[in-house]
Each structure stands twice: as C-alpha cells, then as structure tokens.
C-alpha cells in the first residue's frame, strides 16, 4: 500500500468493499501488527507534527526590529558617553518590554496545543483478528476500528458495518445538532459519537485528515503579525531614527567645516541621539495597555494579548458565530401545532412518554422542560414504559409501549412524513399538514410529529417545532455595536433557513448567502446568464427569428440548466468571481450560512484585505482559525479550550453585553496611547 493522497470525502463516493480492496485490509481480521508498523513508517503517526520555534530564537527575536534597535542604540550611546544611570534604566526597559512580549506569545502558542489535545487518546482497533485498545497515534490507513457512544473519532474513517452512528461534528462544521451517518459514509477525526456502534475503516490519518485543516489554519494566522497601532509606532520610530541620523550627520559636517573640537561635538551628537530616541515609548504603551486590560477584567473580559485592546478600539466589522455565541446552544420549543380533537397537554405528555430523560438527548430535553413549565400538575408516575424502542435513521421514529392503569397504548414521535404514513392520513388532510411543515421548515425549525397508537389505529396529535433560541442580550448587543459604528455579520455552519430565522430575531435582516454563492455566481445569476447567451447565439445563427421564439428557446435552455443543478451535474458557484466583487459581496452581506472553518477564515481574511479591522466571536474548535486570524478574537463564556487559546479576549460572564463595554474601554485606552505617541 502506498500513502493515500485522496481527500476523505472521495471515499464516501465509493462502496466500502472498494475501499477495503484499495487499502488492502480485512474487515474480519484487520491489519497484522507487522503490516501496521510498515505502514506507519510510510505515512507517519496519527498525530499533528510539532513544529515549534526554538526557545533561543523566540527570545532573540524580541531584541530584533526597529523599536528594539532604537532602545539598544540608546543604551550603547549612553554607555559611550558614560551616563551609566541612563544605561541601566534603558536596559531595564528593554528587558521588561521583551519579557512582556515573550509572555504574550507564549500564551498565544497554546492555541495549537489545545487543538492537538482534542484528538482521541485511545481507540479499539482490530489487529491480527482480535480487538485491542491502542493509542490513537498508532493508527494507520487500513486499520479497522470500533466506534461507540462517547468515542472521539480518532481519524478520518469510512463506516463499514453496523446500523448507524449519530455524530456531533460541530467542531468542524458548527452545526447545532448531531448528524446521522450510515455504512458507506465518512466520519471525520475529532467528531464525537453520540449514539450507535459501528465498525469503520481508517482512510486518512494525521496531517491528511480534515481536522488538520483547522490546525493548519490556526498556524497560518501568523503569531508574529503586528497590530495596526504597532505598525504606526514603528513608522514613528523609523521617522525619528532617520531625522536623528540626518541631524547628527549635519552637526558633524558643520563641526568639521568649522574645525571645532570633534570630541566635544561627537559627545553632543551622542547626547542628542539618546534624547531623540523614544526609549520609554514601548514601556509606556505596554503599561497603558496593561491598565486597560485590568479595567476590562473588572468588566469580566480577560485580555490574553495586550495589543488586542487597541485593535478592539478600531474594529469596524464584527463577525460572530451563531451556535453557542449569539444563541444558547440548547434546543427550545417554538409554537406547537395541535391537531383538531386534541390539546397541548396531551401533545406534550405523549411526546415525553416516547422519550427517556436520562438519555439527555438534546431533542428530548426541551420536551420535558416545556411540560414541567406549562403543565406542572401532570403526574408522569401514573404512566409506565413497558417497552422502549429508541430512534434509528431507518424507522425515523421513537416508540414506547405505555401502561396507565387498565389503559395500554403506544406513544410515538419522529419524522412527520413517517407518522403520516403510519396514521394513513387522507390526501386532503395530508396537504394541510404539509403546508404547516413547509412553513416551519422555511423558518429552519426541526419538527417532531407526535402520535398515539391504540387498538391497531394510529392517530396524529400534533407537531412540535424546535430551535436554538438567541441569547437574551444578543439583539441589544448588535444594536449597540451598530450605534458604535461597528457592522455585525453572522457566520454559521447551520443551514440557511435557520440562519435567516435567527437573523430575523436578532435584527440581521440583510442578505444571507452560502459559501459557494460567495466565491462564484449564484443560481439566479447563472440562469440569467444562460438566458442572455442562448438568445444571443440563436439570433446570431438565425437573424430572422422573432423575439417570442428567441424567448421560448432561451426558456428551454434555462430549464436544462436548472435540471443540471437538480441532478448535481453542476454546482452553484463553479464560475469564479473576481476578488473585488467578492469583497463587495462580503461587505454587504449580513449572514453567511453552511460555512466550514476554512470559509470563516476566508471571510475574515478578505475583510482584512479590504482594510477593515475585524473582530470575531466564537466558542468552538471550528471557530479557532477565524479567532486567531481576526484582529481581535473574542471567546465567549463556556468556550472550548481551543477557542480560548486562539482568542485575544475571553469573556467570563454569560452573554455578549460585555463586548460593548470592552469596546468603550478599549477606545478610552487607545486615546491615551495615541496622545502619548503623538
């Protein structure tokens, strides 16, 4: 076997049998220990390679550059004119400034380490015909692994045997709900198994996994990049150096021309140089930012990178993750739909009876909460679950046989289409229910249908829409940011319908797009282009054709193009837009939906290229690259370790209102810094 260069998603397009053949493995015996060792020598360990800068280089770098050069020259000149007190003070300033900078970078380097720790530590793998527990770093392509509830997927795999897995892949995509996967589909490294058990074939490991993309993007956001204010200070320093050198040369030339005492003139020139160099500038700026950081800490915003304060003061565009940042990251019941002949209490009692609270399923938790809040007098102890059948993606429903005294029935909840078939709903009523479903789907709600089966008859009771609600203060925070001149954009991995509905609740009512629409022509633009081109070609070939015939011909061509999209022969966005056009789109769009970490990084990077100072808020591993790339990254309360490590500011209180307080404080601090510098 030679190391695979195929992307993980390519394996989802072929049967498992072909993958097994390509990787020369066996689903019943796995690889032999000798073969696994040989493959590991070829492809390396299943881990992210450490590429740390040597400690000596990190220390030395603090003393290299325009600002350190100014201070070092001032120290040398002070020693030359034997002003030892000045020499000691300048040296202390140089060391203190370098030390503070070193500590800031040391904290920032934890971003990559936090991401690397996310990989699974151990895994159950089939080797030599028997299952054994091995460190995840020992996996190689072709290994057969067992994935169970609670496991972190240790590498990119193709699912081979078993019923199904319910996988939380929010670390990569930002989706608020787990995704169901069956045999033949792929699961990615660092995602979490929430339900099910399956055998899987490892297809990519280490730096070939999709998760490595997240890590490489964090690394790509250079740690040594200087802030806007730092670059301005360096320009001031460079200007002063040039002016000082010019003055010294002028003084020396005049002294030589006048035949004055060269030693005295040289001493005067050295004193002038020391006085002209702003040796206290870096130290004063650091102290000013440290005081600003202390004030922010009192407002429950911890600053891990001092330069973030002046960046936050200048932020004019704020990109925010949705799930867990603008929203609560917990499902909530929207307005339920109760069918005729039933009531709301009956709907939720039946739904809860078809659930198990101890499973802590994110879909079922809000059902129990709603019942307790709205119908506190209901006594569930009067009902006994005789038999419980959990949800699976084939049957698409959960069932429970219930005994309540002499009354025995089956409580059912699940996909609306499945329950409508079970209830044998007549056509007219089915159309009415479908309209309700379409209206809820347009808002991006996850809908549960609830039914009761008794005596061989299934009766629909109603529909329960679920959604991840916004935080209580999110809308006000966005309005306050706009009042401060900051444009706010939502960037989410959830589908565009959910994004639009949450955006409406938050006052983000502008345009919403998907990534492929961002980088190329959208469907509507392409259809318009097809209409124009087809009419032009027809009239060129047959000038006698009238406008009506040309329109008819163009309509046929557009129909063919639409069919190509529906059959996936073409993808929206395959015609690339110019970078200037992309920048214009990003600047005007309010909501970006169905994005992955690379898209978030790209959006932030593009805004920066357009001379915007960009802030970013997030809470997940998938937000880490964009948090690191942004001029000021803010991790919200309860964020993952990776997000906290990548961020410049960490919020310690729930909600986002502290961000506006941080902006006000940062602007006050920035004004103080600017006053001193100028």
**What pLDDT, on a 0 to 100 scale, did the predictor assign at position 369?**
94
In eight-state DSSP terms, residue 672 is H
- The hierarchical CATH code for the domain 290-330+468-507+579-678 is 3.40.50.1000
**What pLDDT, on a 0 to 100 scale, did the predictor assign at position 156?**
93
The ranges assigned to domains in the chain are: 8-49+115-219, 55-108+224-279, 290-330+468-507+579-678, 333-465, 521-575
Catalytically active residues are 321
- Which DSSP string corresponds to 171-198? HHH--SS-EEE-TT-EE-TT-EEEEEEE
Per the rule left: phi > 0, alpha: psi between -120 and 50, beta: everything else, 70 is alpha
**What pLDDT, on a 0 to 100 scale, did the predictor assign at position 145?**
95
**What pLDDT, on a 0 to 100 scale, did the predictor assign at position 486?**
92
Under 8 Å between Cβ of 640 and 633: no
**What pLDDT, on a 0 to 100 scale, did the predictor assign at position 574?**
47
**What pLDDT, on a 0 to 100 scale, did the predictor assign at position 570?**
46
Whether this model's pTM surpasses 0.75 = no
How many Å apart are CA 633 and CA 217, to the nearest integer?
14
What averages of pLDDT result for each successive group of 10 residues across the chain (678 residues)? 69 90 92 93 81 71 71 76 77 75 61 51 89 91 91 91 83 72 90 87 89 73 59 72 80 79 71 65 69 78 78 89 84 92 94 87 90 92 90 83 92 93 90 91 88 92 93 90 92 88 90 76 64 78 79 79 58 55 86 88 91 89 86 85 81 80 79 65
Q: Collect all residues with Cβ–Cβ distance below 8 Å to 468 and sequence separation of at least 6.
A: 176, 323, 327, 328, 329, 330, 331, 332, 498, 502
How many Å apart are CA 471 and CA 477, to the nearest integer?
10
The CATH number of 8-49+115-219, from 3.60.20.10, 2.70.150.10, 3.20.20.70, 3.40.640.10, is 2.70.150.10
Work out the number of other CB atoms within 10 angstroms of the CB of residue 436: 16
- The hierarchical CATH code for the domain 333-465 is 3.40.1110.10
**What pLDDT, on a 0 to 100 scale, did the predictor assign at position 204?**
92
């Amino acid at each position: 076997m030679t190391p695979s260069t195929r992307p993980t998603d390519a394996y989802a397009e072929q049967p498992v049998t072909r993958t097994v053949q390509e990787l020369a493995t066996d689903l019943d015996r796995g690889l032999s220990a000798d073969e696994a060792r040989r493959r590991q020598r070829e492809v390396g360990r299943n881990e992210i390679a450490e590429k740390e800068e040597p400690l000596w280089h990190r220390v030395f770098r603090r003393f290299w550059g325009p600002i350190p050069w100014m201070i070092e020259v001032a120290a040398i000149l002070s020693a030359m004119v034997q002003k030892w007190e000045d020499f000691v003070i300048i040296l202390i300033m140089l060391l203190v400034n370098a030390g503070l900078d070193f500590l800031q970078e040391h904290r920032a380097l934890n971003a990559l380490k936090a991401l690397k720790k996310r990989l699974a530590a151990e895994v159950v793998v089939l080797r030599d015909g028997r299952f054994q527990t091995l460190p995840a770093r020992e996996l190689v392509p072709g290994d057969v692994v067992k994935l169970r509830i609670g496991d972190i997927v240790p590498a990119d795999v193709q699912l081979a045997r078993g019923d199904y897995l319910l996988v939380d892949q929010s670390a990569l995509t930002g989706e608020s709900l787990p995704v169901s996967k069956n045999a033949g589909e792929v699961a990615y490294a660092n995602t979490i198994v929430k339900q099910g058990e399956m055998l899987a074939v490892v297809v990519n490991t280490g730096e070939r996994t999709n998760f490595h993309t997240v890590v490489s993007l964090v690394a790509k956001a250079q740690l040594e990049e200087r802030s806007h204010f730092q670059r301005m200070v360096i320009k001031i320093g460079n200007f002063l150096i040039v002016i000082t050198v010019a003055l010294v040369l002028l003084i020396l030339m005049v002294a030589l021309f006048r035949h004055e005492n060269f030693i005295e003139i040289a001493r005067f020139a050295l004193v002038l140089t020391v006085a002209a160099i702003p040796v206290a500038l870096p130290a004063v700026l650091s102290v000013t930012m440290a005081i600003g950081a202390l004030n922010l800490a009192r407002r429950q915003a911890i600053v891990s990178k001092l330069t973030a304060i002046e960046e936050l003061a200048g932020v004019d565009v704020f990109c925010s993750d949705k799930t867990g940042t603008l929203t609560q990251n917990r499902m909530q019941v929207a307005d339920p739909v109760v069918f005729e002949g039933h009531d709301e209490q009956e709907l939720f009692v039946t739904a809860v009876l078809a659930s198990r609270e101890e499973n802590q399923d994110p879909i079922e938790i809000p059902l129990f909460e709603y019942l307790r809040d709205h119908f506190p007098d209901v006594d569930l102890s009067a009902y006994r679950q005789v038999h419980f059948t959990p949800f699976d993606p084939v049957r698409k429903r959960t069932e429970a046989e219930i005994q309540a005294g002499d009354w025995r029935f089956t409580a059912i909840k699940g996909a609306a289409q499945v329950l409508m078939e079970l209830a044998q709903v007549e056509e007219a009523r089915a159309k009415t229910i479908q309209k309700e479903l379409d209206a809820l789907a347009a808002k991006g709600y996850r809908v549960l249908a609830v039914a009761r089966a008794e005596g061989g008859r299934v009766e629909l009771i109603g529909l329960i829409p679920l959604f991840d609600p916004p935080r209580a203060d999110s809308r006000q925070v966005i309005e306050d940011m706009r009042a401060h001149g900051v444009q706010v954009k939502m960037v989410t991995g959830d589908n565009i319908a959910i994004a639009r509905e949450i955006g409406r609740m938050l006052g983000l009512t502008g345009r919403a797009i998907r990534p492929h629409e961002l980088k190329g022509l959208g469907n509507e633009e392409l259809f318009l282009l097809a209409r124009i081109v087809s009419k032009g070609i027809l009239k060129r070939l047959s000038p006698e054709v009238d406008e009506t015939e040309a329109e008819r011909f163009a309509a046929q061509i557009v129909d063919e193009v639409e069919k190509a999209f529906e059959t996936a022969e073409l993808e929206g966005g395959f015609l690339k837009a110019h970078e200037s056009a992309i920048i214009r789109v990003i600047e005007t769009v309010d909501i970006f939906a169905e994005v992955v970490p690379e898209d978030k990084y790209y959006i932030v990077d593009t805004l920066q290229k357009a001379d915007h100072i960009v802030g970013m808020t997030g809470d997940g591993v998938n937000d880490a690259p964009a948090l690191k790339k942004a001029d000021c990254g803010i991790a919200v309360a309860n964020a993952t370790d990776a997000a906290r490590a990548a961020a410049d500011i960490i919020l310690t209180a729930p909600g986002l209102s502290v961000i506006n307080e941080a902006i006000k404080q940062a602007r006050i601090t920035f004004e103080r810094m600017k006053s001193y510098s100028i």
